[in-house]
Chain A
Amino acid sequence: MIEFDEQKKRLVLKLVYYGPALSGKTTNLLTLHDQLSLDGRGELMLLDTAEDRTIYFDLLPFFYVSPSGMKIKLKVYTVPGQVRHDATRKAVLQRADGVVFVADSHAAQMSVNFESFDNLEKNLSMVGLSIERLPLVLQFNKRDLPDIVPDDDIRRAWGPTGLPVFMASALKGWGVLETFQEILGLTFDAVNARHGLTARFGVEREVFLSEILRVQQ
C-alpha cells in the first residue's frame, strides 16, 4: 500500500502487471484504458521507451470516492519484462497490493514464463512481500495466436498453485477486464480485511468494483 491517511480519508493502492518481456503487459493497460470509462480513471502515462519496449513503467490511475467521502486512488503499473531491468522491476514492486502475472501462451515461451515467475517470487521476498499472502492472478495472454499451449495443459501445470488463471487476448481485447476484475476484487478483500473499508468507511465491495469497471459507452 502506497498511502493510507485515515484523517484525510485517502487511500492509495498499487497493482502491478508482471511477466516476461513481450507478454503483453502494456497492451493490457492500453486495453483497460480503451475499454473503461474516463469517469473513473486518469490518463495512461507511458514513460520513456526504447524501441517501443517499456524500460521504466507504464501507469494507469483509477479513482473512486465513496459516499462517506473515502477517496481511493488505484495506480496500475507495468514492469519492464526484460531480464536486464531487474532493478526497475524490484522498485516498481515495492509496496504493491496485488499482482497480475501476464504469461505468454506461445509453446516456446513456457520456460521463460517459469523463469519470470521465479523472478517475481524472488523480488517479492526482496521487497518484503509474501507471494503466499499477496493477491495474485495469472493471465495467459495471446490466446488468439497459433502454436499456443492448450488450456488443459496450462491448468494442469499451474492449477496446483491454487492461483486464479485467466485466458486472454489483450490485443483483441478479451479476457483483460475479467483479469482486472479478479485482481481488483482480491485486492479489495485483502485491504478490507486489514483496514475495514466497509465497516469503518462504508466502502462497499460491489459498488467499488462496478465504479472502477465502468465500461465506456
Chain B
Amino acid sequence: MNKGKPQISFVVGEDRCLAEIISRTEIEPLLRSLVKAGPVWAVVLDEDRLPLCRQGDDRPLEKLREISHPLLVEGEPQGMLVIAFDPLACGGAEALALLARDALQLTITNNLKRMLTTEMHTSIVQESYDQLVETNQRLTKSEGRYRELALQLERKVEERTTELQKAYSRMLQQEKLAAVGGLAAGMAHEINNPNGFVHSNISTLGRYVERMKEMLNFYQLLIAANTPLQQMREDTEQRRRTLKLEVVFSDTAALLEQSLEGTDRIARIVADLKAFSHVDERGDSDADLNVELERILSVLAPQIPPGTAITKGLQRLPPFGCNPGLLSQAFFNIIQNAIQSRSEGLQLNIYSENPGDEIVIRIADNGCGIPVDNLYRVFEPFFSTREVGCGTGMGLAVAREIIKGTGGNIEIESEEGSGTTVTVRLPNRNLAAIKVNHE
C-alpha cells in the first residue's frame, strides 16, 4: 500500500523464539530466589538448548541430581528449566522446580498474549493511519481538481458572456434589418402608388404639350400666309375646338397639382423611413417619444388592416435621453404586434403621459390576446406562436432588452380573445441628466 515506507510487518501466527518472549531480567530474580531456597544451580535453556539465564554454583555434576521441565510456547515445548540439587542437603526440590516452572510458564504465556495483542493493535492502528493518509491525499487531490475546475468554469462563463453579448448586438442588428425589410415591402407599395400616377400625369401632360405645340404652329402658319384676321379667328377657333384645348388647359393645372402632391408624398415616406431608422444619427440624443410614435404609425401604415380605429391620447412629454433608433425599434415591435393581432375591426389605442417622475406609454389592442400559459414566456428569445417564417420570436425579447437598457421596464397584460395592453415605463431623464449620472 505504502511502498518504500518502513512499516511494521507482522503476520498473526509467526513463531517466536523464547528469547523474544521472555527476557533475562525477568528470569534472573526467579532463578536467584530458587537457588537461595536450596538447589545448587538453576538454568533456563532456549529451543536450541543454549542457556538463556543461569544462577548458582558450578559444582561437579556427579554429586548432584537434576530435574528438568519443558517450557511451552503456544503449547509446544520450546525451552527447558533445569535445576540441580544435592539430594542430601535439599529436600522438596521437586516441588520447588514445579513452582518455578509454573511461574515461568505463566510469565511466558502472559508475555506472549501481550505481544500478540500489542502487535495486532499496532498493525491495525498503522493500517488505519495509512488509510487515513491515503484518503487525505485523495481528498487533497480532488479538492485541487475542483479548484481548477472552478477557475476554468469562471473563465468559460466570461468567454460565454462575451460571446453572448456579441451575439446579442448582432441579433439587435438583424432584428432591425428584418423590421426594415418588412417595412420595405409595404413602403414599396406606398411609393409605387404616387409614383404611378405622377408617371401617368406626366405622359398625359406630354400629350397636352404636343397639342399646344400644334396650336402654336398653326398660328405661325396662318401669320406667315397673311391670313385675314376674320378668317384667322374662324380657323383658329375651329382648331382649338378640334384639339380640345379648353379641357387640356383646365386639366393641366390639376395634373400638375396632383403630381406635386405625389412627389411630396414620396418625399414624406422617405423622410419618415429615414427618421424611423435614424440612419443619420449616432449614439444618444434627446427624443420626443410622441414624434417617434407618430412616425412609427406612419411607417407601419401600409400594414394596418383596413377599417382600423386608431385612438391616440398623446400628452406632452419631456425630452427623453436615449438612442432614438433603438428605442423606436422597441415601440415598433410592440405596435406591430398590436397591428397583427386582428385582421379586421382592430381598435388600436396609444397613450402617453408623464405623471411625476416617469414617462408612461401604453399600447392597447382588442386583438386575439395571449393564452395564460404563454404569457410568462413572451419575453423569451425565440418564443413565437406564429407560423415558421412569419415571426422571429425576437420582437418582445428585443423590446424588453432595449427598454431595460434605458432604465425602464415593460409589462404586459392580456386576456385571450379580448386583447393585450403593453405598458412601458421610462425614467424621466434627458441626455444632460444621463451625462451627469455617468460622471
Contacts and interface: CB of A to CB of B under 8 A. Distances in A.
- For chain B, which range describes its interface: under 10, 10 to 19, 20 to 34, or 35 or more residues? 20 to 34
Interface stretch (A38-46, A106-114, A139-147, A175-183): A38-46
B76 A56 contact: no
A61 B12 contact: no
A59 B120 contact: no
B340 interface: no
Nearest to B12: A92
Contact of B15 (A2, A42, A48): A2
Interface string A22-58: 0000000000000000000111010110000000110
B76 A73 contact: yes
Contacts of A88: 120, 124
B117 interface: yes
Nearest to B14: A2
Contact of B123 (A73, A75, A91): A91
A45 B10 CA distance: 19
A94 interface: yes
Contacts of A121: none
A61 B14 contact: no
B198 to A, nearest CB: 97
Contact of A59 (B11, B74, B124, B128): B74
A47 B75 contact: no
B92 interface: no
A131 to B, nearest CB: 19
B109 interface: yes
B11 A2 contact: yes
Nearest to B10: A91
A87 interface: yes
Contacts of B15: 2-3, 12, 73
Interface in A44-84: 45, 47-48, 56-57, 59, 61, 63, 73, 75, 77
A95 interface: yes
Contact of B116 (A2, A3, A47, A61): A47
Nearest to A57: B12
A56 B127 contact: no
Given A61-B76, A88-B124, A56 B117 contact: yes
A56 B122 CA distance: 12
A63 B76 contact: yes
B13 interface: yes
Contacts of B14: 2-3
A42 B74 CA distance: 6
Closest A-B pairs by Cβ, 10 of them: A42-B75, A87-B124, A2-B13, A61-B74, A14-B13, A61-B75, A92-B12, A75-B13, A43-B75, A94-B11
Interface of B: 10-15, 72, 74-76, 109, 112-113, 116-117, 120, 123-124, 127-128
Interface of A: 2-3, 12, 14, 41-43, 45, 47-48, 56-57, 59, 61, 63, 73, 75, 77, 87-88, 90-92, 94-95
11 contacts: A3-B14, A12-B15, A14-B13, A42-B75, A47-B116, A48-B113, A61-B76, A63-B75, A73-B15, A75-B13, A94-B11
